[in-house]
Amino acid sequence: MFRKRRKRSDGDARRRDAGTEAMLAAVEEMLTGRLVLGQSWRERDAWTCVNALGHADWDTLRAFAAEGPRRPAQPWDTVLAFLAAELLSTAKEPSRLEQVQRRELIPLELELLAGDVPATVSPARLAEVVQARLAHTRGSHPGGGGPPAPG
């Protein structure tokens, strides 16, 4: 009924530990909004962009915004830089950043994961969606200025 367990060698334990360490590093990158920078994440897409915006701290977002498009310009890098600057402008200060992230960006990230927002959304369309959510936040805070005027 029960099979005898195979005795593990030290090599098995090292491989498992290396695999576990790699997984933990990827999880940490995801939870800090730095997955987009990691070597293990080769493709940019809507989710990686929103993950970065929704979990990165103030200084990381400033670095994303300052980086601007790389040469040759990649659409996801360009939209990440633009949206990071928009997010910083909306939050206005580090103490409000987490509130904006929790209110607007983490729900959007979950919608992407659930398929409520198509994962194949283009960088331009993602910029529109995120800007609309940030405009909603700006409009709901006193002195926030509200959404931009049409034009």
Express each pLDDT in 6-63 by its tens digit. 565 555 555 568 777 776 666 666 666 666 766 544 566 888 889 999 999 999 999 9
Residue, of 18 and 113, whose pLDDT is higher: 113
| Domain limits for position 32 | 12-140
DSSP 57: -
Q: What is the mean pLDDT of residues 84-109?
A: 96
Q: In the numeric block, which tokens belong to residue 95?
A: 């103490």
- The answer to whether position 115 is within a domain reads yes
- The answer to whether position 73 is within a domain reads yes
Q: Specify the pLDDT at position 31.
A: 64
pLDDT-derived band at 145 (thresholds 50, 70, 90) equals: very low
- The answer to whether position 147 is within a domain reads no
Q: Which residue has the tokens 């580090």?
A: 94
- For residues 85 and 60, the answer to whether their CB atoms sit within 8 Å is no
**Phi, psi (5° rounding) for residue 48?**
-65, -35
Q: Specify the pLDDT at position 35.
A: 66
DSSP 120-133: T--HHHHHHHHHHH
In the predicted model, is pLDDT for residue 95 greater than 80? yes
- The answer to whether position 4 is within a domain reads no
- The answer to whether position 105 is within a domain reads yes
Residue 83 CB partners (closer than 8 Å, separation 6+): 49, 53, 126, 127, 130, 131
Q: Specify the pLDDT at position 144.
A: 43
- The answer to whether position 150 is within a domain reads no
Number of domains in the chain: 1
Our CA angle for 34, 38, 40, nearest 5°, is 135
- The answer to whether position 129 is within a domain reads yes
- The answer to whether position 7 is within a domain reads no
Q: Specify the pLDDT at position 136.
A: 87
* Type of residue found at 146: G
